[in-house]
Structure 1
Amino acid sequence: MKNPCIRVLATGGTIAGKAGSATRHAYVPGQIGIDDLLAAAAALDMGAALSGVQIANIGSEDIGPAVWAPLHAAIMAAIGDSAVDGIVVTHGTDTVEETALLLDLTLPTAKPVVMVGAMRPADAVGSDGLRNLANAVRVAGNPDAAGRGVLVVMGDRVFAARDVRKVRTRGTDAFRGFPRESIGLVTPSALDWFGAPWRTGDAARFDWPREWPEVPILPIWAGIEPEYVGRLTGPDTRGVVVAGVGEGNMPDPLRQPLRELVARGVAVVRASRIDEGLVDREPEDDANGFLAARALNPPKARILLQLLLASGVSDRAAMQAEFDRR
């Protein structure tokens, strides 16, 4: 059987980072280029033909629309290339869940797209980068990966973009899925799925946005005053995601300035700052005009809200239906 051809698109992150010492804690992400990364991968005999493109070489805390646009274009080109069987994106772990959801919502499911990173730089004791890359290549080369949306591979687990989130700052077991846990287990030599593909043959759910609507995240803390809403928002604000306490809760005085924003046409989404926070609609949401983020955490809820606004969706029922399906 012919080895799968995998296109590796590199954006930097810890998987391309170096500390200059095997035991130093501090390191600099994005120090290893795609050619050197593929040379190291070639020595592992991954059972795949790899080709690479350097999109960026930065820490993922610096990733945003300026990198997302060429990354999306490169993935679309690889999907349209008959010689490419699957795509792997190397990415820093800090914002990989946001990029993963964005791509999941704006790409067709014709070929596997797998994101991967590392928790330890390449020259650290116990570095996990090459193992994670080998795992990602195995997943991207598996035809059954194509109908599952964008995937994230970390710590021998396969996560769906809709569920994945970073939950730890240390250790290689730093990712979890919510509300659905991992959807597969992978090693460099084996791959086991926990269920059948659920998006086989799907088109992209959203077009790539021509603009990025201004959508700030409003964090809630004990003692926050209503005036903070005005400090965070301005005339160009088109949406607000509330990172609420508990099940998307907020102090009652904050609701009035948020209701005033809704009256001006600004979309307001209640999410939760809790790691496993499921936010259902509450009876007051209809009167307030608020949306409920359901299982999406605040950064992911922001991505979906931006895509909805950029697509011209303003009907609250239609917007809520998009949050409900995640």
Structure 2
Amino acid sequence: MTLPRILVLATGGTIAGQAGDAMRADYRPGQIGIEDYLKQASGLGVAADFTGRQIANIGSEDIDASIWSRLHAEIDLAMRDDGVDGIIVTHGTDTAEETAFLLDLTLPSTKPVVLVGAMRPADAVGYDGMRNFANAVRVAGDPDAAGRGVLVVMGDRVHSARDVRKAQTRATEAFRGFPRESVAIVTPSRLDWFGAPWRVGDAASLRFLPLPDVPILAVYAGMTAAAAARQLSDDPPGIVVSGLGEGNMPDPVRQILVQHARRGCLVVRASRTDEGLVDREPQDDANGFVASRALAPPKARLLTALLIANGITEPAEAQRHFDGR
């Protein structure tokens, strides 16, 4: 049997974390190096021809532009390397949805790219990381995974980068998807897709470029214009509103954001709710706002920053990109 040739790019996280005691609740992420991890995986029978590279060894709350840039460059090279069949990124769960979405927007879909993490450290009772990793190998080694964009594997489920989000702080079934709950079920021995690939032959949607700082404005009941203005004092090039309900906000806050939109700031209305669509409302045209549709604030922030970096700042054109997610 020919083994799949898998490039594993390690960034740390709980999947490489240790507590020093199988019963402890606290632990340190990013303690196991990729070479040791791959030896352990191979020893357990995870079948692949692995190449491992350590990009970082951190908790994913500390992921930053320099790590994203190196990840993107390594995966871009692997996409053009005939000796690589698929790419796995081991990653902390806190920001896995953001890294996956950024890579999904800026990479072609010609080879499988899979992010995988864990909710328990490697020396804890019930460690879930090695099973998740074995599942990720099953997905990354499947030719039918190409054409599906970047995928996230957690808890025997495969999620699209567009849909996935972390929905719980501790449970091993911590990830959910919207509008698609998941796109496949996977175990170390079996993979069942729920539909055909949806990005066959697709190039990257946007160029990977340095990202401007786009803040998320957290809206709450009774928020004043002064409170909003304090958060937006640096006149950012874009703002994502974590709004009430379907991207709503108190009228004083709306008026502050209209002023920002009129000076050329790209203002995107998203929702702080767990899931749901944010559609355009009649006032959006006059206000110069964009509706985030299915994207929650963290992903809406990334898309907004990428659009600005790519020179797309006109609300109607930006809206077309959000509509296409």
Q: What is the TM-score normalised by the length of structure 2?
A: 0.98
- Residues 12, 92 of structure 1: 8 Å contact kept: yes
Q: What secondary structure is seen at the aligned counterpart in 2 of 1:134?
A: helix
Partner in structure 2 of residue 156 of structure 1: 156
SS of aligned partner of 2:152: strand
Q: Distance in 2 between matches of 1:170 and 1:59?
A: 15
* One-letter identity of the residue aligned with 1:119: M
Percent identical among aligned pairs is 66
Letter of the aligned partner of 1:296 in structure 2? L
Name the CA distance, whole Å, in 2 between partners of 1:214 and 1:262: 16
Distance in 2 between residues matched to 1:310 and 1:6, nearest whole Å:
31
For residues 204 and 140 of structure 2, what CA distance do their matches in structure 1 show? 19
Alignment-derived partner of residue 289 in structure 1 = 288
User: Counterparts of 1:242-253 in structure 2 under 5 Å?
Assistant: 242-253=241-252
Q: Give 2:275's aligned residue.
A: 276
Stretch of structure 1 that moved more, 212-221 or 157-166: 212-221
Name the CA distance, whole Å, in 1 between partners of 2:280 and 2:306.
Answer: 21
Contact 2:265-2:313 within 8 A present in 1 as well: no
5 Å-filtered alignment, 1:253-272, equals 253-272=252-271
1:317 aligned partner, one-letter code: A
| CA deviation after TM superposition for structure 1 residue 314, in Å | 1.8
Aligned residues: 325
- Does the 8 Å CA contact 2:239/2:267 hold for their aligned counterparts? yes
Give secondary structure in 1 for the equivalent of 2:146: helix
SS of 2:92's equivalent? coil
Deviations 1:177-201 (A, max 9, x none): 0011100000000000000001011
Q: Which runs of 5 or more structure 2 residues have no equivalent in the other structure?
A: none
Distance in 2 between residues matched to 1:246 and 1:277, nearest whole Å: 9
| Aligned positions of 1:1-326 closer than 5 A | 1-209=1-209, 211-235=210-234, 237-326=236-325
Output the CA distance in 2 between the equivalents of 1:49 and 1:150. Answer: 21
Alpha-carbon contact 2:150-2:161 (below 8 Å) kept: yes
The CA deviation at 1:235 is 4.2
Say whether the 8 Å CA contact 2:235–2:260 is kept in structure 1: no
Residue segments in structure 1 that go unaligned for 5+ positions in a row: none
Following TM superposition, the consecutive aligned residue runs of length 4 or more in structure 1 with deviations greater than 4 angstroms are none
Verify the 8 A CA contact 1:214 1:236 in the aligned structure 2: no
- RMSD of aligned alpha carbons: 0.9
Question: Deviations along 1:198-229, whole A, 9 cap, x unmatched?
Answer: 101111111111x3112100001122111122
